[in-house]
Structure 1
Amino acid sequence: MLHSFSCRVPRFGPRCLTLWRGYHPVGKKSMSEDHNFGQWYGQWFAILASSMRKRHLDRANFANSTKNVFLGTRGTLNSAGTRCPYSQSSESGPRFALRTRIAITVLIGSGIVAAGLYVRSEKAEAEKRRRIEELRKLAIGQGDFRLVDHTGRPRSKSDFRGQWVLLYFGFTHCPDICPEELEKMSRAVELLDGEAHLPRVQPVFITVDPERDDVAAVAKYVKEFHPRLLGLTGTAEEVKEAGKAYRVYYSAGPKDEDQDYIVDHTVIIYLLSPDGLFLDYYQRNKSEAKVAESVKKHMETYQSLFE
């Protein structure tokens, strides 16, 4: 009888299965009746080895063909385990083809990226033009004023076209807030004057108390601050229109026994561009350094809406 083995028997076909069951491959005599048991045993192992080798070569050829797809080479393994190429062409041909495919892929990808960047740039430019057009429509005719300066000369917003303007609304009898804000505005202008490459800023003061702030009173007041500070006043109606144009709130309080009163008003410094348009504003919590820094940035990025 054939002794059993602990290893797993491969799938080798009917003949091997018959041998495993203990029968002679030709007849149906048991192996104990076969006088050539040694010859049969050797034949069985030869069949087993041949089947295992064939299975190994099949796996190797499959792995080799898969690898060749990526490497651009062709061939298989023969019974000795060596490569048998399908053609006698040199390896430089397939490698050159691979490099060509990579180059074409890179060129196509670069073209797609360039086209995307161009479309995005055109879209951003169109959006910018649309925004400028909207600002032009909104800005024309807004924020205007017609007043008189502290020398008695009539002034309007158009007189300041082409200039950077810092504008403040207040009154000459203000005890503390107005002087502080005008001092801050004057120091910011001085900081900007210290940079020769920047255009000069024109500081402007508009009174919200025309009843007491006539030309003489305003002229005396502005001398206490920056030498270029321009004071503007006018009739009650003219001052009201100027404040309304910049949405400035102001209201006179009750008078005391000396006929003195305080005017409650908006405390804001406005920045006007050379187009004469409102560009930015600065509240009390902004220092002169912050104001000057902001104005400088606006100057460096400024683009006229009316060119």
Structure 2
Amino acid sequence: MKKQHFQILIAALLVILASVLFMTLKSTIPAAPATRTSASAATTAGVEGLGGSWTLIDHNGQTVSDKDLTGSFRLMFFGFTFCPDICPTEIKRLSLVLQGLGDDATRIKPLFVTIDPERDTPTVLKEYLSRFDERFIGLTGSVDQIRHMEEIFKVYSAKSADPGLTDYTMNHSALVYFIAPDNRVLHLFHSKETPEQMVGTIRRAMAQP
């Protein structure tokens, strides 16, 4: 009888020990990583909190609003013509994107919005963009109109005086806004994304019904 009780006790202890060991191992095994949202799903959903109504002047001196561009995809970049490096690099990258899209490039309006309206007149914008790609639409306006654009698209810009120069330069954010025909911002392209990656994202968006 005592032997039977002893065996039951041993069995119970083994069950408890096995349970403790299982819980210990479970706590040390890293959880599986959360499933990432696919690029196509993220692009379809869009980026919330960006965009709105606006009116500016294009490089031909014509009034242009967001309503005029409704129905077309857009690639929009904020910069200025006196920019020594970032802006020319971004315009060239966007030109490569348009080349990579082939015939689909006709479905996109590439926009260059100045953050320096005091110097970037329509004439200055037209001459500047003609050096890179004449498909670009340059946009300028009053200081208030440009500040409104910066506000609704959450763009950073600030004048910066260079001790070695008599004129000023501009510090600014450098994102490319990919905008849908219904005016939703679908994606924000960063500088590290290659033209090939950008083309892939754009094609996925264009393929959506």
Relative to the length of structure 1, the TM-score reads: 0.50
Which of the residues 140, 148, 158 maps onto 2:67? 158
Instruction: Calculate the aligned-residue CA RMSD, in Å.
Output: 2.2
- Structure 2: which amino acid aligns with 1:226? D
Shift of 1:200: 2.1
Seen in structure 2, the aligned counterparts of structure 1 residues 148 and 246 have a Cα distance that, compared at 3 Å, is same
Contact 2:99 2:105 in 1 (8 A): no
Contact 2:57 2:139 in 1 (8 A): yes
- Structure 1: which amino acid aligns with 2:146? V
**2:92 aligned with 1:214:** no
Contact 2:75 2:109 in 1 (8 A): yes
Structure 2: segments with no counterpart, 5+ residues? 1-43
Summarize deviations over 1:171-196 as a string: whole Å, max 9, x none.
Answer: 0000011000011011101111x2x4
3-state SS in 1 of match to 2:207: helix
Shift of 1:258: 4.6
- The aligned residue for residue 55 of structure 2 is 146
Seen in structure 2, the aligned counterparts of structure 1 residues 234 and 186 have a Cα distance that, compared at 3 Å, is same
- Structure 2: which amino acid aligns with 1:189? L
Summarize deviations over 1:102-152 as a string: whole Å, max 9, x none.
Answer: xxxxxxxxxxxxxxxxxxxxxxxxxxxxx98xx8xx77x943221100000
Which of the residues 232, 249, 257 maps onto 2:156? 249
> Which residues in structure 2 correspond to 1:1-307 (within 5 Å)?
142-192=51-101, 194=102, 196=103, 200-254=107-161, 256=163, 258-301=165-208, 303=209
Aligned residue pairs: how many? Answer: 165
Rounded Cα–Cα distance in structure 1 between residues aligned with 2:201 and 2:150: 24
Greater per-residue helix proportion? 1
- Structure 2: which amino acid aligns with 1:247? K
Rounded Cα–Cα distance in structure 2 between residues aligned with 1:257 and 1:211: 21
Rounded Cα–Cα distance in structure 2 between residues aligned with 1:142 and 1:173: 26
Seen in structure 2, the aligned counterparts of structure 1 residues 219 and 199 have a Cα distance that, compared at 3 Å, is closer
Contact 1:162 1:274 in 2 (8 A): yes
Relative to the length of structure 2, the TM-score reads: 0.73
Structure 1: segments with no counterpart, 5+ residues? 1-130
Contact 2:76 2:111 in 1 (8 A): yes
Seen in structure 2, the aligned counterparts of structure 1 residues 198 and 259 have a Cα distance that, compared at 3 Å, is closer
Contact 2:176 2:190 in 1 (8 A): yes
3-state SS in 2 of match to 1:281: strand
Summarize deviations over 1:155-183 as a string: whole Å, max 9, x none.
Answer: 11111111010000000000011000011
Shift of 1:198: 7.0
- The aligned residue for residue 85 of structure 1 is none
Seen in structure 2, the aligned counterparts of structure 1 residues 176 and 158 have a Cα distance that, compared at 3 Å, is same
Greater per-residue strand proportion? 2
Contact 1:143 1:278 in 2 (8 A): no
Between 1 and 2, higher relative CO (CA 8 Å, sep ≥ 6) is seen in: 2
Rounded Cα–Cα distance in structure 2 between residues aligned with 1:264 and 1:189: 27
Shift of 1:251: 0.5
Summarize deviations over 1:69-115 as a string: whole Å, max 9, x none.
Answer: xxxxxxxxxxxxxxxxxxxxxxxxxxxxxxxxxxxxxxxxxxxxxxx
- The aligned residue for residue 25 of structure 2 is none
- Structure 2: which amino acid aligns with 1:273? A
Rounded Cα–Cα distance in structure 2 between residues aligned with 1:280 and 1:142: 12
